[in-house]
Amino acid sequence: MTAEEAAGPPGPKVLRLLIFVGAGFLFTIGINKWRELERKSIQQRQEIHQQQEILSSANAATKPIK
**Span 28-48, pLDDT tens digits:** 999 999 999 999 999 999 999
Residue 4 has pLDDT above 80, yes or no: no
45: Cα separation from own chain's centroid: 17
The radius of gyration of the chain from alpha carbons, rounded to an integer in Å, stands at 29
pTM above 0.95, yes or no: no
d(CA 40, CA 46): 10
d(CA 49, CA 7): 62
d(CA 37, CA 64): 43
d(CA 9, CA 4): 8
